[in-house]
């Protein structure tokens, strides 16, 4: 049989990119994108009023935790080399109110979880706390409500800011290394930075949810935190049709003192992530949110995709787009896959 590469009528390729794909060793040797578990943040849920971990039906494999089970999960994260754990609190319905006052209570479920993690692991695991009121308000919004001059109920941006400051300081007092304001209120980073500094917490970092889009990918998370939300958050989270405003939000957060910035959700906004990574003077995070997790999980459960390969493909895509830090519910599992 004639070798097509030597056929006189067929030009022999001079450049052969396939030379660099000939074996796994060669592919690893020239790989452009690398993942390290130290870049991962594991989001976790600690719930009040439960005595054993409780499955989240919309997120197979993810649970609401007791303090004991949270510490066991964190131990797994430390052993896997995961860099950080991001704590979300789930209060009982009876503890919710119009202002979300349990959010800054020293004995509130979120601060109790933060304190337990810091006591147990010290600086071996960065403890991050979600700095937002939505889990704690009886209306499920990220700020306090008011009525505008037309009689419409709206989130009061400026009245919410001092509550964020109070929440961030309480999280720092509990031991958080990082606070992560996710409410998308204008001016939130400056107010939080000033409050932390005034309270003596100059070393506590802020990871700003700078480009956080409203959309359909948060559905499973609402179950995870027992959200009371009615309606949507389109008046304060970003419109998925827009890109330039993300760069403005990032610029403002950096000017106000953000130590790190975030794009959320990751998958639908990889173009934004790339633009933010190109212009940001601080580390850039991306959050692989509950909807992304659940889509891959559901497809894998149905046998439509290879679960482990899909997990890693998705994480490499986020890293390749420019993320220095990745929040993912697969942090521990992905670390194990990287270690193989």
Q: Point out the catalytic residue in the list 112, 212, 234, 309.
A: 212
Average pLDDT for the chain: 94
Q: State the Cα–Cα distance between residues 48 and 46, nearest whole angstrom.
A: 7
Pick the CATH number of 35-338 from 3.30.70.100, 1.20.1370.20, 3.40.50.300, 3.20.20.70: 3.20.20.70
Q: Is 212 one of the catalytic residues?
A: yes
- Cα-based angle 103, 269, 89 (whole degrees, multiple of 5): 15
Selecting among 79, 96, 264, 309, the annotated active-site residue is 264
Q: How confident is the model at residue 4 (pLDDT cuts 50, 70, 90)?
A: low
Residue 264 known to be catalytic: yes
Q: Any residues with CB less than 8 A from the CB of 314 and at least 6 apart, and which?
A: 267, 288, 292, 296
- Helices 109-121 and 157-174: crossing angle, nearest 10°? 30
In the predicted structure, residue 2 carries a pLDDT above the cut 80: no
pTM beyond 0.85: the answer is yes
pLDDT at 303 over 60: yes
Quick: pLDDT tens for 174-195: 999 999 999 999 999 999 999 9
1, pLDDT greater than 70: no
Contact criterion met (CB below 8 Å) for 208 and 189 = yes
What does the domain layout of the chain look like in residue ranges? 35-338
Residue 284 in contact with residue 323, Cβ under 8 Å?
A: yes
The more confident residue out of 292 and 1 is 292
């Amino acid at each position: 049989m004639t070798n097509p590469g030597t056929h006189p009528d067929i030009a022999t390729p001079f450049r052969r990119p396939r030379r660099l794909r000939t074996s796994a060793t060669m592919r690893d040797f020239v790989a452009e994108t690398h993942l390290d578990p130290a870049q991962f943040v594991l989001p976790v849920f600690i719930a009040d009023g439960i005595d054993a971990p409780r499955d989240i039906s919309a997120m197979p494999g993810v649970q609401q935790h007791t303090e004991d089970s949270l510490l066991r999960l964190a131990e797994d994260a430390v052993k896997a080399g995961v860099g950080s754990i991001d704590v979300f609190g789930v209060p009982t319905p009876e503890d919710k109110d119009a202002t979300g006052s349990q959010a800054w209570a020293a004995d509130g479920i979120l601060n109790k979880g933060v304190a337990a993690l810091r006591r147990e692991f010290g600086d071996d695991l960065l403890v991050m706390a979600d700095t937002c009121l939505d889990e704690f308000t009886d209306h499920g919004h990220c700020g306090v409500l008011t009525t505008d001059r037309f009689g419409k109920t709206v989130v009061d941006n400026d009245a919410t800011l001092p509550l964020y400051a109070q929440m961030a300081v309480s999280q720092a007092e509990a031991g958080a290394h990082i606070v992560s304001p996710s409410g998308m209120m204008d001016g939130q980073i400056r107010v939080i930075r000033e409050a932390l500094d005034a309270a003596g917490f100059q070393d506590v970092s802020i990871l700003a949810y700078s480009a956080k889009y409203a959309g359909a990918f948060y559905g499973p998370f609402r179950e995870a935190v027992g959200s009371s939300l009615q309606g949507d958050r389109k008046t304060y989270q970003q419109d998925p049709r827009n890109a330039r405003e993300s760069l403005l939000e990032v610029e403002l957060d950096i000017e106000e003192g953000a130590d790190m910035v975030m794009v959320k959700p990751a998958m639908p906004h990889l173009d934004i992530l790339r633009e933010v990574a190109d212009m940001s003077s601080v580390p850039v995070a991306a959050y692989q949110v509950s909807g992304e997790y659940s889509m891959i999980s559901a497809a894998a459960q149905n046998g439509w995709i290879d679960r482990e390969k899909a997990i890693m493909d998705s994480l490499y895509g986020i890293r390749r787009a420019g993320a220095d830090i990745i929040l993912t519910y697969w942090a521990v599992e992905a670390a194990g896959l990287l270690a193989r």
